[in-house]
Structures are given as C-alpha cells and as structure tokens.
A and B are shown apart, each in its own frame.
Chain A
Amino acid sequence: MVLEPVGRRGRRGRGARRRGTLGTVVAAVLGLGLVTACAPGSDGDKPASKAPAAVSTDVAKAGNVTLTVWDQEIQGGQRKQIETLNARFQARYPNVKINRVARSFTDLQKTLRLALSGDDPPDVVQANQGYAAMGQVVKGGLLLPLDSYDQVYGWKKRYPKGLTDLNSVTPDGTSIGGGKLYGVSLNGEIVGIYYNKDKLAKIGIQPPKTWAEFEQALGTAKSKGELPLAFGNLEKLPAMQMYGVIQDQTAGKEAVRNLVFGKSGSWTDQPNVQAAQKLADWAEQGYLTKDANAIKWDDTPVNFAKGQGVFMVGGTWWAADLKDKLGDKVGFMLPPPAQAGGAPVTMGGESLPFSITAKSRHPDVAAAYINFITSPEAMDVSVETGNLPALAPPSRQPDGTVMKEIAAAWAELSKSDGITPYIDYATPNLADTFGGPLQRLLAGKATPQQALGDAQKDYAEFLKKK
C-alpha cells in the first residue's frame, strides 16, 4: 500500500534500476517457488494394513503411551459418555494417558483435514461419513484401514451390515459402502419428530399414526393459534434434514439411498420435487417458525423447550437435553408411514465413527481403545448417559419416556431396515448448493424445480469427477 510516494517525479531517472533490483528479488522468490514446484499434496500412498497376526491386543505391554483423540462429543449426554469411557479405559490401562481434544462438530470438520495431513496427527479422530469428509481423507491415504483389526476384534460381526457399510469406503474414496472399514461408531442417530404432549392435549389431538394425520395435525395446531413446527435454519443444514425426512416419505428408502450414494436417480425426479413442494407449502401456510432463516439451529430445541412449537423435526442427539428440560412432557415418534401400521422410514445412521490415522505411532493401542469404547459395556454407558447406543445394551434399560421411545424407534428401524443416509453425504458441496436454494425456497424466492435443479447440477458435476 503506497500511500505517500515521496518525490515521485524527481526519482524517475533511477526508477528502472530500482525496478531492476526489485525484479531480481521477485524473480528469485518466484524461482525458489518453481524449484520446489511439484504438484501440491502428498503422493497419495495408501497405508498398508498389517497382518492380523501382527496385531497386539495387549495394551498393558505397550509401555507408556499418550493417545491423542480428537472428538466432537461436546453436548451434554455425549460428553458424559466419552468422559466416562475415557476414564474407565485409563483406569484399566494405567500406562495409557488419553489426551482428549474436544471440538464442536463444525470446528472438527474444518480442522481435521489440516491436522491429518500434518506430520504429527492425532492417533484417533472422528471423521464424518460421506464423500466430503471420510471419502476425501481416505483418498489421501490419511486413515488406516481397519480390516485386520476387525479380524481380531470382530466389529463387523458385532454391528449390523448397514452400519459398518456407512463407515466403509473404497481406498480411492469414490464409493461408500464398499471397500474397507475405516471407523466404528458409538451411538445410533435418528432424525424423528419430537412433540410437546401438553400442546397436543391443548389442541385436542393424539400423536398422529399416518403421514396424512401428521399434516392434519399441523393444520389443526395452526388454526388453534399454536406454532405447528419449531424450526431454525440459519445454517442451511436444518432445512436439508427436514427435506430429507419428507423426501423419505415421497420417494421411498431405495430411491433415496441410490441417489445419495450416487448409484441412480436425479434430484429433479418427481418425488424429490414433490418433497420440496411440501416444504414450501408448509412455509407458506405458516407451519414453520417465522423468519426461520434467521434462527440458529442450536436455538431450535431451546425454543421448543420453552413452549414454541407443537412438533419439531430433530435428531436423537437433542433427546438428553430435551428430557432434562421438559421431562415427560416431550415425546418422540418416527415420521408416521403413509398407512397406519406400515414400516416407517427416516433419515439417520450412526454417530461419527472413530478412526485411526495412518501416521499414528500407536495403532494397536488406538484399535484397543476403539474396541473398548464400542464394547457391550460401552453401550451400557451410552444408555446411562442418556444416549442412543448403536447396539442393544446388555444390561441397562433407558430411563424416561422419551429415551424409551427413542430406543423402541431405533429397534423398529433396525428391524424394518428403515434408515436412509443423510443427504449431505451425496456431494461435498451439497450443503451449499442445495442448502442455499432451500433457504430461498422457504422464503418463497425459488420454486421447488429451481432448488432441485441447483442440487442436481452440483450432483452431476460431482459424479462426473468421480
């Protein structure tokens, strides 16, 4: 920033020479750049997994080890869960010290890439499922394939295939569900519908049994002066979850799965457009919180607990907090099926998997840690701390109505295979390329066709690159 070039005119005679020297410096710096100028990034070597026989499961023999673990379990119940498990692991193996680094979900996603590509990455990390996170770091060779550890610890036998598939990806990062196992998750996740029992009683209706009844209930709530659906969408992701839940009803589970994992279908297919139309209708009829685009996601359950909203679409990760605030007044149900008694379908899966980094110096200890925090004992801890364990806990039963309802819903979905993946797994950009247009849709500034056209454009580009 040259604010005051002094005596510009008088210097003209020497300008050329000065530029000459400056030019040399610039050229030297540039030259230096070009000397080291190979393509950026690692050479993409894939870490080799060792033979199962070489895996040591005896943590006590590993000597003094500091295991650095990056997780995003910072919300109430999940924090208690991981703190309990860490404490128990360290008590069992006094030679291991766990250095826990806790970040919020978004912060962890942003920093993970840089941390993993460094020379001294953490030993265990939570890398989100999907092409944007796990797909890319696996492609870069930054995570250790867990197959040989799996043969020792038997995770694939412990977990249903649907869940281990979500944490599996081909080594080139292009196909989720195939390839090798790269992580193991602790908790199950369902996006369902919470309801405020007092409000339902006040407007005189029962929890809806079919999707049509649910929509009727929204209308009844509105006409009785209640806010039908609590909703906050400043971050764009909430609308994608709401859309996903509706899409599961209009398009069905197979179509959604194929679409998200890039196997078949288009975002502009009629049932997908129909789902967006439904969302737009709800917004227009005033079923959603006013100015939802200006309200933070995390404030949605807070407002709901304060009595704003008869229903709220939300994940099971909010259950522990809602139970604390509303007690038995909050209920949880799966999106009701088209016909009463039919099989419900909704979005969900499992919490972020714990993975071992390729450059970890203690992969055996890391694997033992992952095995410990996903053991049957850990599932009990999950229930004790108010979470939804991915696997049925051996000896604990959930406490409180809402937790019981959630456990029952998880069991029902597992039985009927009714879980569809989060739609933002589909492409790395979808939160922007579809989340943005959904905000426009909610504000009445885009038609369903436009919003899904935007999503499809990004999706087609991504598939082409794959």
Chain B
Amino acid sequence: MTPAKDDSRSGRPPGEPRSIGWLYVLPALLVYAAFLLWPLVRGFWFSLYEWDGISTGTWAGLSNYTKTLTDPSLRGAFGHALILIVFYAVIPCLIAFVLVGAVSRTRIRGLAFFRTVLFLPQVVAMVAVAVAWQWVYSPDGPVNSVLRGLHRLGLPDWSRGWLGDFTFALPAVGLIGTWVEIGLAMVLFLAGVQKIPRELYEAARIDGAGPVREFLAVTLPGLRRELAVALTLTVAAALRNFDLIFVTTKGGPGEETKVPAYEVYNRAFNTGEVGLACAIGITLAALIFLLTAGISRLAEGRGA
C-alpha cells in the first residue's frame, strides 16, 4: 500500500478519493487476513493459555513467555538458532562474494551451467536434502569413509557419527544449510554484478586497483541491495529451520540441535503444551521480524 507519488505538500493525491484504495486491496487483504493475520491473532491468543490442545485451556497470562525466555532448554534452542545464522547466512554470503568477485573479473565459459548447479540445492525439497545428508554423515557414510582413508594414510582418526556427536552435530547440520544457501546468494549477487557499469571496473583498474581493492570499492557497494535480500532470506531460513532438524537429528543428541521451530512442533504435538508452543512461535516471529527489519535498515542506511 505504498502510494507512488509523494504528496506531503498537497496533502492528497490528485484525482481520486483515498478510501477507494481499500477496495483495490480488498481481495488480497482478505486472503492475507484469513491466512496470516487471523492465525497470528489466534496464535497470540492461545499463547496466553495453558492448553493441551484437547480439553479446555486455563488462562496463564504471560507465563508461557516467561518460560520461553527462562527455560534453559528453550533458551538453548534460541541460542542454536543464532549459531545457525552464521552457517545459513554469514558463511554462504561470504563464499558467494568470493565466487562472484572471481567471476566479475574474468569471463568464465559455461557460467550458466555453474549457476544452475549452484542453484540446484534451492530447488530440491528440504526433506530430500536432509535424507541425503543424513546418509552422507552416517557412521558408514562417505564423509567417514574419506576420513578413515586419511587415517590409513597416517592422519589421526577423525571419523565419527557426526549427527550424534555432541560437539559436531550442530555445525554438521549448519553446513547443510550453507550448502543450500550458497546458490541463492550466488545467483542474487551474479544478477547484481551485471547491473554494475563496466566503466567502474575499468576506472578502478586504470587507477591500479588489485582484485581486493576492486571488490571493496566497486563490487561490494554495488551489491548492497542484493546483500540485504540475501541476508533477509537466509536469516529467516536459519531461524525457521525445522525440516532439516526434524529429519536429521530430532533435536538430539541430548538437546544439542534443538531449534525454536522444532520446539514449536514438539511442544504442540508431542508434549501437549499448545500454549507454550504458540508463545515460542510468536517469540520466534518477533525475533525474525526484528532481525530482518534491522538488516534492511542497515543495508539502506549506509550511503543512502
């Protein structure tokens, strides 16, 4: 609902009465309200109750929220989600930048092919991705075969059941996210790089800029908006990560890979704490909103 023209001086756009605008957005608004606003309101309402999903709920005030913020297991889940942001958003963007930096300097034959290959993980259903990686990480899977091969060559034995290991389960899951999200960031950045005028690169080179300098002075500022989009999408993906955890680890070993979205499901369907599940969900939504709003502000704030 953003009017196209600035009307701060006239006070009103010329020509049409404003309230008719609502009529135009009505169909979309109805769908939006029915499938998003209404569930959100209901979800918030449920979060104020202690409810098992079946019998009558009892009023609980904000106690579900206090539990969300104080329960060590749930706080741990939010902590894990923040760690996953590194694997889902930060690392993929960094890697994509390196790749794009390389691509923008030279012409690579078969670029479309590489782009397709890198984007493929985005196309595959997450559950299929998770099942495949579960095998990759399994005690007798390819990762451990390679590590055992290295062990035979004299290196220490690094093989282990990755998804059942207390130290490595979370990073192992995170790396799956990295693998998935690189393609997205890469394709966004590639599209952005093509928008940057070639003259800027030529000018930079005439001024004697090396690859690093050129990247910092030309490519990075030119990709600011794409970076904001990539970060928003990947951070949201990191925080609402459910399918991957559900298929690969179920939150284990212990509670090492519990994430809020998994807990929403777990509390609602397994343990019958629907009110608490809603409170976790609302908190998670608020966190995602805050972070993505922060990202878009950051991206446009600088140099605007």
Stretch of A39-47, A153-161, A242-250, A384-392 with 4 or more beta carbons under 8 angstroms from chain B: A39-47
Asked if A294 contacts B52 (CB within 8 A), the reply is no
Stretch of A11-19, A200-208, A311-319 with 4 or more beta carbons under 8 angstroms from chain B: A11-19
The digit string for B101-115, where 1 denotes a CB below 8 A from any CB of A, is 000000000000000
Whole-angstrom distance between the alpha carbons of A116 and B52 in the complex?
13
Measured between C-beta atoms, what is the minimum distance from A276 to chain B in Å? 15
Determine which of B45, B52, B160, B161 lies in contact with A33 in the assembled complex, contact meaning CB atoms within 8 Å: B45
B250 contacts the other chain (Cβ, under 8 Å)?
A: yes
A137 contacts the other chain (Cβ, under 8 Å)?
A: yes
Across-interface contacts of A333 in B (CB, < 8 A): none
Determine which of B55, B228, B270 lies in contact with A3 in the assembled complex, contact meaning CB atoms within 8 Å: B228
Measured between C-beta atoms, what is the minimum distance from A15 to chain B in Å? 10
Contact of A294 with B57 at beta-carbon distance under 8 Å, contacts A33-B42, A437-B254 already known: no
Q: Number of contact residues on A: which range applies?
A: 35 or more
Stretch of A221-229, A285-293, A362-370, A374-382 with 4 or more beta carbons under 8 angstroms from chain B: A285-293
Chain A residue with Cβ nearest B225? A4
The digit string for A418-458, where 1 denotes a CB below 8 A from any CB of B, is 00000000001101100011011001011000000000000
Asked if B52 contacts A290 (CB within 8 A), the reply is no
Measured between C-beta atoms, what is the minimum distance from B187 to chain A in Å? 17
A113 contacts the other chain (Cβ, under 8 Å)?
A: yes
Measured between C-beta atoms, what is the minimum distance from B3 to chain A in Å? 8
Contact of A140 with B37 at beta-carbon distance under 8 Å, contacts A39-B57, A132-B272, A439-B252 already known: no
Residues of chain B from 250 to 282 with CB closer than 8 A to chain A in the complex: 250-255, 266, 269-272, 274
Asked if B271 contacts A429 (CB within 8 A), the reply is yes
Determine which of A3, A43, A142, A431 lies in contact with B232 in the assembled complex, contact meaning CB atoms within 8 Å: A3
Measured between C-beta atoms, what is the minimum distance from A94 to chain B in Å? 36
In this complex, which of A37, A233, A236, A436 has the most chain B Cβ atoms within 10 angstroms of its Cβ? A436
Residues of chain B from 236 to 259 with CB closer than 8 A to chain A in the complex: 236, 249-255
Asked if B55 contacts A41 (CB within 8 A), the reply is yes
Contact of A29 with B37 at beta-carbon distance under 8 Å, contacts A40-B45, A443-B253 already known: yes
Determine which of B42, B58, B232, B252 lies in contact with A236 in the assembled complex, contact meaning CB atoms within 8 Å: B252
Asked if A41 contacts B57 (CB within 8 A), the reply is yes
Asked if A43 contacts B56 (CB within 8 A), the reply is yes
Asked if B252 contacts A42 (CB within 8 A), the reply is no
Contact of A29 with B252 at beta-carbon distance under 8 Å, contacts A2-B296, A41-B55 already known: no
Contact of A40 with B49 at beta-carbon distance under 8 Å, contacts A3-B228, A132-B272 already known: yes
A7 contacts the other chain (Cβ, under 8 Å)?
A: yes
Contact of A41 with B51 at beta-carbon distance under 8 Å, contacts A293-B253, A436-B252 already known: yes
Determine which of B163, B251, B254 lies in contact with A440 in the assembled complex, contact meaning CB atoms within 8 Å: B254
A53 contacts the other chain (Cβ, under 8 Å)?
A: no
Across-interface contacts of B300 in A (CB, < 8 A): 4-5
Across-interface contacts of B228 in A (CB, < 8 A): 3
Whole-angstrom distance between the alpha carbons of A295 and B254 in the complex?
14
Measured between C-beta atoms, what is the minimum distance from B4 to chain A in Å? 8
Determine which of A12, A114, A432 lies in contact with B8 in the assembled complex, contact meaning CB atoms within 8 Å: A12
Asked if A7 contacts B164 (CB within 8 A), the reply is no
- The number of chain B residues with a CB under 8 A from chain A is 57
Across-interface contacts of B51 in A (CB, < 8 A): 39-41
B202 contacts the other chain (Cβ, under 8 Å)?
A: no
Chain B residue with Cβ nearest A292? B164
Across-interface contacts of A1 in B (CB, < 8 A): 232, 236, 289, 292-293, 296
A234 contacts the other chain (Cβ, under 8 Å)?
A: yes
Residues of chain B from 27 to 73 with CB closer than 8 A to chain A in the complex: 33, 37-38, 41-42, 44-46, 49, 51-59
Determine which of A30, A141, A431, A443 lies in contact with B270 in the assembled complex, contact meaning CB atoms within 8 Å: A431
Across-interface contacts of B158 in A (CB, < 8 A): none
Across-interface contacts of B59 in A (CB, < 8 A): 39
Asked if B33 contacts A29 (CB within 8 A), the reply is yes
Asked if A42 contacts B271 (CB within 8 A), the reply is no
Contact of A13 with B56 at beta-carbon distance under 8 Å, contacts A3-B228, A39-B49, A236-B252 already known: no
Contact of A39 with B33 at beta-carbon distance under 8 Å, contacts A234-B163, A291-B139, A294-B165 already known: no
B138 contacts the other chain (Cβ, under 8 Å)?
A: yes
B162 contacts the other chain (Cβ, under 8 Å)?
A: yes
Whole-angstrom distance between the alpha carbons of A283 and B292 in the complex?
45
Measured between C-beta atoms, what is the minimum distance from B223 to chain A in Å? 14
Residues of chain A from 38 to 69 with CB closer than 8 A to chain B in the complex: 39-44
B194 contacts the other chain (Cβ, under 8 Å)?
A: no
Asked if A42 contacts B54 (CB within 8 A), the reply is yes
Across-interface contacts of A290 in B (CB, < 8 A): 139, 161
Residues of chain B from 188 to 244 with CB closer than 8 A to chain A in the complex: 225, 228-229, 232, 236
Whole-angstrom distance between the alpha carbons of A110 and B164 in the complex?
24
Across-interface contacts of B164 in A (CB, < 8 A): 233-234, 291-295, 439
Asked if B55 contacts A294 (CB within 8 A), the reply is no
Asked if A295 contacts B54 (CB within 8 A), the reply is no
Measured between C-beta atoms, what is the minimum distance from A294 to chain B in Å? 3
B6 contacts the other chain (Cβ, under 8 Å)?
A: yes
> Can you list 18 residue pairs at the A/B interface with Cβ under 8 Å?
A1-B289, A4-B296, A14-B8, A33-B42, A40-B51, A40-B56, A44-B55, A137-B54, A236-B252, A291-B139, A291-B165, A294-B138, A295-B139, A432-B266, A432-B271, A439-B252, A443-B165, A445-B254
Residues of A within 8 A of B (CB): 1-7, 10-14, 18, 29-30, 32-33, 37, 39-44, 109-110, 113-114, 116-117, 132, 136-137, 139-142, 233-236, 290-295, 428-429, 431-432, 436-437, 439-440, 443, 445-446
Nearest 3 CB-CB pairings of A with B: A294-B161, A291-B161, A294-B164
Apart from A41-B55, A432-B270, list 6 A-B contacts with CB within 8 A. Answer: A30-B41, A37-B45, A132-B271, A132-B272, A432-B266, A439-B164
